[in-house]
Amino acid sequence: MLKAAIIGASGYTGAELAGLIHGHPHLTLAGLYVSNGSQDAHKPFTSLHPRWRGIIDLPLLPLDDEAISRIHTEADLVLLATAHEVSHDLAPGFLAKGLPVFDLSGAFRVPGEGFYDQFYGFHHQYGDWLAKAAYGLAEWNQEAIKAAQLIAVPGCYPTASLSALKPLQQAGLVAEGARPIISAVSGVSGAGRKASMNNSFCEVSLKPYGVFNHRHQPEISYHLGKQVVFQPHLGNFIRGILATVYVQLKDGVSDQQIAAAYHQAYDGQKIVRLAGQWPQINDVAGTPFCDLHWGRDGNQLIVVSAIDNLLKGAASQAIQCINIHQGFSPVAGLIKE
Protein backbone atom coordinates (compact mmCIF):
# COMPACT_ATOMS: atom_id res chain seq x y z
CA MET A 1 0.00 0.00 0.00
CA LEU A 2 1.38 3.38 -1.01
CA LYS A 3 0.91 6.21 1.49
CA ALA A 4 -0.65 9.35 0.03
CA ALA A 5 -0.60 12.72 1.80
CA ILE A 6 -3.31 15.20 0.87
CA ILE A 7 -2.60 18.91 1.33
CA GLY A 8 -5.75 20.99 1.11
CA ALA A 9 -8.00 18.29 2.54
CA SER A 10 -10.63 20.68 3.92
CA GLY A 11 -11.99 21.66 0.48
CA TYR A 12 -14.41 19.84 -1.77
CA THR A 13 -11.71 18.35 -3.99
CA GLY A 14 -9.54 17.38 -1.03
CA ALA A 15 -12.47 15.57 0.54
CA GLU A 16 -13.19 13.68 -2.67
CA LEU A 17 -9.51 12.67 -2.81
CA ALA A 18 -9.64 11.41 0.77
CA GLY A 19 -12.66 9.25 0.01
CA LEU A 20 -11.16 7.82 -3.17
CA ILE A 21 -7.85 7.01 -1.51
CA HIS A 22 -9.60 5.43 1.46
CA GLY A 23 -11.39 3.04 -0.89
CA HIS A 24 -8.41 2.39 -3.17
CA PRO A 25 -6.95 -1.14 -3.24
CA HIS A 26 -3.33 0.10 -3.45
CA LEU A 27 -3.37 3.41 -1.54
CA THR A 28 -3.77 4.49 2.05
CA LEU A 29 -3.94 7.92 3.65
CA ALA A 30 -0.68 9.27 5.08
CA GLY A 31 -2.35 12.35 6.54
CA LEU A 32 -4.85 15.10 5.80
CA TYR A 33 -3.33 18.57 5.90
CA VAL A 34 -4.45 22.18 5.75
CA SER A 35 -2.39 25.37 5.72
CA ASN A 36 -0.58 26.17 8.94
CA GLY A 37 -2.79 29.16 9.72
CA SER A 38 -6.07 27.58 8.68
CA GLN A 39 -9.05 27.91 11.01
CA ASP A 40 -9.76 24.25 10.19
CA ALA A 41 -6.45 23.00 11.62
CA HIS A 42 -6.92 20.27 14.28
CA LYS A 43 -10.62 19.85 13.48
CA PRO A 44 -11.85 16.36 12.69
CA PHE A 45 -12.09 15.88 8.94
CA THR A 46 -15.68 14.69 9.42
CA SER A 47 -16.71 17.91 11.15
CA LEU A 48 -16.36 19.54 7.73
CA HIS A 49 -17.41 16.54 5.64
CA PRO A 50 -19.88 14.52 7.73
CA ARG A 51 -20.64 11.96 5.03
CA TRP A 52 -17.30 10.34 5.91
CA ARG A 53 -18.18 10.01 9.61
CA GLY A 54 -17.16 6.59 10.92
CA ILE A 55 -15.15 5.97 7.73
CA ILE A 56 -12.33 8.53 7.68
CA ASP A 57 -11.82 9.51 11.31
CA LEU A 58 -8.66 11.59 10.92
CA PRO A 59 -7.79 15.13 12.02
CA LEU A 60 -6.93 17.97 9.68
CA LEU A 61 -3.31 18.68 10.57
CA PRO A 62 -1.59 22.04 10.09
CA LEU A 63 1.17 22.01 7.49
CA ASP A 64 3.94 23.23 9.78
CA ASP A 65 7.65 22.33 9.55
CA GLU A 66 7.11 19.16 11.53
CA ALA A 67 4.33 18.06 9.20
CA ILE A 68 6.45 18.73 6.11
CA SER A 69 9.28 16.65 7.58
CA ARG A 70 6.82 13.88 8.38
CA ILE A 71 5.54 13.87 4.80
CA HIS A 72 9.13 13.74 3.51
CA THR A 73 9.84 10.59 5.51
CA GLU A 74 6.48 8.79 5.69
CA ALA A 75 4.58 9.52 2.47
CA ASP A 76 5.10 7.81 -0.88
CA LEU A 77 3.32 10.50 -2.87
CA VAL A 78 1.76 13.93 -2.37
CA LEU A 79 -1.50 15.40 -3.67
CA LEU A 80 -1.84 19.19 -3.68
CA ALA A 81 -5.46 20.36 -3.61
CA THR A 82 -4.29 23.88 -2.83
CA ALA A 83 -4.43 27.37 -4.30
CA HIS A 84 -2.24 27.93 -7.35
CA GLU A 85 0.37 30.03 -5.55
CA VAL A 86 0.51 27.55 -2.66
CA SER A 87 1.11 24.59 -5.00
CA HIS A 88 3.76 26.65 -6.81
CA ASP A 89 5.61 27.17 -3.53
CA LEU A 90 5.15 23.69 -2.03
CA ALA A 91 5.71 21.33 -4.95
CA PRO A 92 9.45 21.92 -5.51
CA GLY A 93 10.28 21.02 -1.90
CA PHE A 94 8.54 17.66 -2.12
CA LEU A 95 9.98 17.01 -5.57
CA ALA A 96 13.49 17.69 -4.25
CA LYS A 97 12.95 14.87 -1.76
CA GLY A 98 12.09 12.49 -4.60
CA LEU A 99 8.36 12.36 -3.91
CA PRO A 100 5.92 12.17 -6.85
CA VAL A 101 3.60 15.19 -6.75
CA PHE A 102 0.11 15.31 -8.23
CA ASP A 103 -0.94 18.95 -8.34
CA LEU A 104 -4.61 19.76 -8.81
CA SER A 105 -4.03 23.51 -9.04
CA GLY A 106 -3.10 25.33 -12.23
CA ALA A 107 0.46 26.05 -11.11
CA PHE A 108 2.26 23.73 -13.53
CA ARG A 109 -0.18 23.21 -16.41
CA VAL A 110 0.95 25.63 -19.10
CA PRO A 111 4.54 26.58 -19.92
CA GLY A 112 5.08 29.96 -21.51
CA GLU A 113 6.75 33.27 -20.77
CA GLY A 114 4.42 35.59 -18.87
CA PHE A 115 1.51 33.15 -18.79
CA TYR A 116 1.24 33.02 -15.01
CA ASP A 117 1.73 36.77 -14.62
CA GLN A 118 -1.17 37.40 -17.00
CA PHE A 119 -3.65 34.68 -16.04
CA TYR A 120 -2.81 33.76 -12.43
CA GLY A 121 -1.42 36.99 -11.01
CA PHE A 122 1.98 35.69 -9.88
CA HIS A 123 5.42 35.28 -11.42
CA HIS A 124 6.42 31.65 -11.88
CA GLN A 125 9.75 30.87 -10.21
CA TYR A 126 10.18 27.24 -11.28
CA GLY A 127 10.44 27.13 -15.03
CA ASP A 128 12.47 23.92 -14.86
CA TRP A 129 9.65 22.03 -13.13
CA LEU A 130 7.06 23.72 -15.33
CA ALA A 131 8.88 22.34 -18.38
CA LYS A 132 9.17 18.85 -16.88
CA ALA A 133 5.59 18.51 -15.61
CA ALA A 134 3.29 16.03 -17.37
CA TYR A 135 -0.20 17.24 -18.19
CA GLY A 136 -2.48 14.70 -16.56
CA LEU A 137 -5.20 14.30 -19.17
CA ALA A 138 -5.36 10.62 -18.38
CA GLU A 139 -6.71 9.16 -21.63
CA TRP A 140 -4.21 11.07 -23.75
CA ASN A 141 -0.88 11.39 -21.91
CA GLN A 142 -0.24 7.98 -20.36
CA GLU A 143 3.43 7.73 -21.31
CA ALA A 144 4.26 11.22 -20.06
CA ILE A 145 2.35 10.58 -16.82
CA LYS A 146 4.25 7.33 -16.25
CA ALA A 147 7.62 9.01 -16.71
CA ALA A 148 7.14 12.30 -14.86
CA GLN A 149 7.68 13.07 -11.18
CA LEU A 150 5.34 16.07 -11.32
CA ILE A 151 1.86 15.61 -12.79
CA ALA A 152 -0.30 18.68 -13.38
CA VAL A 153 -3.89 17.46 -13.19
CA PRO A 154 -5.97 19.41 -15.75
CA GLY A 155 -8.66 21.90 -14.91
CA CYS A 156 -12.31 20.87 -14.93
CA TYR A 157 -13.36 22.85 -18.01
CA PRO A 158 -10.26 21.77 -19.98
CA THR A 159 -10.95 18.12 -19.14
CA ALA A 160 -14.50 18.30 -20.49
CA SER A 161 -13.48 20.38 -23.51
CA LEU A 162 -10.31 18.53 -24.52
CA SER A 163 -12.00 15.15 -24.15
CA ALA A 164 -14.50 16.33 -26.76
CA LEU A 165 -12.06 18.04 -29.12
CA LYS A 166 -8.84 16.04 -29.14
CA PRO A 167 -10.17 13.09 -31.19
CA LEU A 168 -11.25 15.50 -33.95
CA GLN A 169 -8.01 17.49 -33.88
CA GLN A 170 -5.89 14.33 -33.82
CA ALA A 171 -7.74 12.93 -36.83
CA GLY A 172 -7.33 16.20 -38.75
CA LEU A 173 -11.06 16.77 -39.15
CA VAL A 174 -11.30 20.40 -37.94
CA ALA A 175 -11.41 23.07 -40.65
CA GLU A 176 -8.22 25.08 -41.07
CA GLY A 177 -8.51 28.51 -39.51
CA ALA A 178 -11.72 27.66 -37.66
CA ARG A 179 -11.79 28.19 -33.90
CA PRO A 180 -13.93 25.69 -32.00
CA ILE A 181 -16.41 27.42 -29.69
CA ILE A 182 -16.96 25.99 -26.21
CA SER A 183 -19.96 27.06 -24.14
CA ALA A 184 -19.79 25.34 -20.75
CA VAL A 185 -21.80 25.46 -17.53
CA SER A 186 -20.40 24.45 -14.13
CA GLY A 187 -22.01 23.82 -10.79
CA VAL A 188 -21.25 26.13 -7.88
CA SER A 189 -18.80 23.71 -6.22
CA GLY A 190 -16.34 24.74 -8.93
CA ALA A 191 -15.90 28.01 -7.04
CA GLY A 192 -14.64 26.14 -3.97
CA ARG A 193 -15.86 25.84 -0.41
CA LYS A 194 -15.16 29.36 0.82
CA ALA A 195 -18.34 31.40 1.16
CA SER A 196 -18.82 34.45 -1.05
CA MET A 197 -21.66 36.50 -2.45
CA ASN A 198 -21.25 34.82 -5.86
CA ASN A 199 -21.92 31.33 -4.50
CA SER A 200 -24.55 32.28 -1.94
CA PHE A 201 -27.73 30.22 -2.41
CA CYS A 202 -29.97 33.25 -2.95
CA GLU A 203 -27.55 34.93 -5.36
CA VAL A 204 -26.65 32.07 -7.70
CA SER A 205 -28.21 32.34 -11.15
CA LEU A 206 -27.24 31.06 -14.59
CA LYS A 207 -24.75 33.63 -15.79
CA PRO A 208 -21.59 33.99 -17.88
CA TYR A 209 -18.29 34.96 -16.30
CA GLY A 210 -14.65 35.32 -17.33
CA VAL A 211 -15.66 36.66 -20.75
CA PHE A 212 -12.56 36.58 -23.02
CA ASN A 213 -10.23 36.36 -20.02
CA HIS A 214 -10.78 33.00 -18.33
CA ARG A 215 -7.50 31.21 -17.60
CA HIS A 216 -8.82 27.92 -18.96
CA GLN A 217 -9.02 29.31 -22.51
CA PRO A 218 -5.23 29.35 -23.00
CA GLU A 219 -4.92 26.00 -21.18
CA ILE A 220 -7.38 24.38 -23.59
CA SER A 221 -5.80 26.05 -26.62
CA TYR A 222 -2.26 25.07 -25.63
CA HIS A 223 -3.03 21.41 -25.02
CA LEU A 224 -5.29 21.14 -28.09
CA GLY A 225 -2.72 22.79 -30.34
CA LYS A 226 -5.43 25.08 -31.73
CA GLN A 227 -6.98 28.32 -30.56
CA VAL A 228 -10.52 28.08 -29.18
CA VAL A 229 -13.24 30.44 -28.05
CA PHE A 230 -14.22 29.49 -24.51
CA GLN A 231 -17.11 30.88 -22.47
CA PRO A 232 -17.91 29.47 -19.02
CA HIS A 233 -21.17 29.93 -17.13
CA LEU A 234 -22.13 29.47 -13.50
CA GLY A 235 -25.15 27.22 -13.05
CA ASN A 236 -27.51 26.99 -10.09
CA PHE A 237 -26.66 23.38 -9.22
CA ILE A 238 -24.00 21.89 -6.97
CA ARG A 239 -21.72 19.77 -9.14
CA GLY A 240 -21.10 18.85 -12.75
CA ILE A 241 -20.04 20.46 -16.02
CA LEU A 242 -21.88 20.37 -19.33
CA ALA A 243 -19.80 21.64 -22.25
CA THR A 244 -21.37 22.21 -25.65
CA VAL A 245 -18.66 22.44 -28.31
CA TYR A 246 -19.24 23.85 -31.81
CA VAL A 247 -16.76 22.67 -34.45
CA GLN A 248 -16.46 23.57 -38.14
CA LEU A 249 -15.41 20.45 -40.05
CA LYS A 250 -13.29 20.28 -43.17
CA ASP A 251 -15.15 19.79 -46.43
CA GLY A 252 -15.85 16.16 -47.22
CA VAL A 253 -15.61 14.77 -43.69
CA SER A 254 -17.95 11.78 -43.40
CA ASP A 255 -20.02 10.54 -40.48
CA GLN A 256 -17.84 7.44 -40.48
CA GLN A 257 -14.66 9.51 -40.07
CA ILE A 258 -16.13 11.33 -37.08
CA ALA A 259 -17.23 8.11 -35.40
CA ALA A 260 -13.88 6.47 -36.15
CA ALA A 261 -12.02 9.36 -34.53
CA TYR A 262 -13.93 8.96 -31.27
CA HIS A 263 -13.85 5.16 -31.25
CA GLN A 264 -10.12 5.11 -31.96
CA ALA A 265 -9.55 7.50 -29.07
CA TYR A 266 -11.84 5.92 -26.50
CA ASP A 267 -12.65 2.30 -27.28
CA GLY A 268 -11.27 0.33 -24.33
CA GLN A 269 -11.12 3.46 -22.16
CA LYS A 270 -13.57 2.79 -19.35
CA ILE A 271 -13.87 6.35 -18.02
CA VAL A 272 -14.80 8.18 -21.24
CA ARG A 273 -18.12 6.84 -22.51
CA LEU A 274 -19.53 7.41 -25.99
CA ALA A 275 -23.06 7.78 -24.73
CA GLY A 276 -25.17 7.27 -27.86
CA GLN A 277 -27.51 10.04 -26.64
CA TRP A 278 -27.15 13.63 -25.51
CA PRO A 279 -25.42 13.64 -22.09
CA GLN A 280 -26.78 15.36 -19.04
CA ILE A 281 -25.18 16.21 -15.73
CA ASN A 282 -27.32 13.75 -13.76
CA ASP A 283 -25.71 10.95 -15.79
CA VAL A 284 -22.24 11.72 -14.44
CA ALA A 285 -22.60 13.62 -11.14
CA GLY A 286 -20.91 11.65 -8.38
CA THR A 287 -19.06 9.44 -10.89
CA PRO A 288 -15.60 9.47 -12.54
CA PHE A 289 -17.06 9.31 -16.06
CA CYS A 290 -16.98 11.67 -19.03
CA ASP A 291 -19.95 11.18 -21.37
CA LEU A 292 -19.71 12.33 -24.99
CA HIS A 293 -22.14 12.54 -27.89
CA TRP A 294 -22.14 14.43 -31.17
CA GLY A 295 -24.38 15.44 -34.05
CA ARG A 296 -23.87 17.34 -37.30
CA ASP A 297 -25.59 19.55 -39.85
CA GLY A 298 -23.40 19.78 -42.93
CA ASN A 299 -19.94 20.90 -41.87
CA GLN A 300 -21.17 22.08 -38.46
CA LEU A 301 -20.57 19.56 -35.67
CA ILE A 302 -21.85 19.85 -32.11
CA VAL A 303 -20.23 17.74 -29.40
CA VAL A 304 -21.57 17.64 -25.84
CA SER A 305 -19.35 16.58 -22.95
CA ALA A 306 -20.55 15.97 -19.38
CA ILE A 307 -18.36 15.38 -16.30
CA ASP A 308 -18.45 15.81 -12.55
CA ASN A 309 -16.21 18.83 -11.95
CA LEU A 310 -14.99 17.51 -8.59
CA LEU A 311 -14.24 13.99 -9.87
CA LYS A 312 -13.26 13.63 -13.54
CA GLY A 313 -12.58 17.37 -13.42
CA ALA A 314 -10.27 16.99 -10.41
CA ALA A 315 -10.04 14.18 -7.84
CA SER A 316 -10.82 11.03 -9.82
CA GLN A 317 -8.59 12.17 -12.68
CA ALA A 318 -5.79 12.60 -10.12
CA ILE A 319 -6.40 8.98 -9.07
CA GLN A 320 -6.25 7.93 -12.73
CA CYS A 321 -2.88 9.67 -12.94
CA ILE A 322 -1.61 7.90 -9.82
CA ASN A 323 -2.77 4.59 -11.22
CA ILE A 324 -1.00 5.19 -14.52
CA HIS A 325 2.15 6.49 -12.82
CA GLN A 326 2.38 3.49 -10.51
CA GLY A 327 1.42 0.84 -13.05
CA PHE A 328 -1.92 -0.04 -11.45
CA SER A 329 -5.08 -0.61 -13.45
CA PRO A 330 -6.04 2.86 -14.78
CA VAL A 331 -9.45 2.56 -13.09
CA ALA A 332 -8.31 1.09 -9.77
CA GLY A 333 -10.33 2.62 -6.94
CA LEU A 334 -12.76 4.17 -9.42
CA ILE A 335 -14.62 1.31 -11.13
CA LYS A 336 -15.03 -2.26 -9.93
CA GLU A 337 -13.46 -4.55 -12.55
Indicate the residue type of 298: G
Pairing relation of β-strands 229-234 and 181-186?
A: parallel
Distance (Å, whole) CA 330 – CA 323: 5
CA-nearest of 161, 188, 222 to 310 is 188
Distance (Å, whole) CA 14 – CA 44: 14
Concerning whether 321 is annotated as a catalytic residue, the answer is no
Of the listed 156, 202, 290, 321, which one is catalytic?
Answer: 156
Distance (Å, whole) CA 210 – CA 232: 7
Task: Report the alpha-carbon angle 247-248-250, nearest 5.
Answer: 130
CB–CB of 144/136 below 8 Å? Answer: no
Distance (Å, whole) CA 228 – CA 167: 15
CA-nearest of 225, 214, 218, 162 to 190 is 214
Active site residues: 156
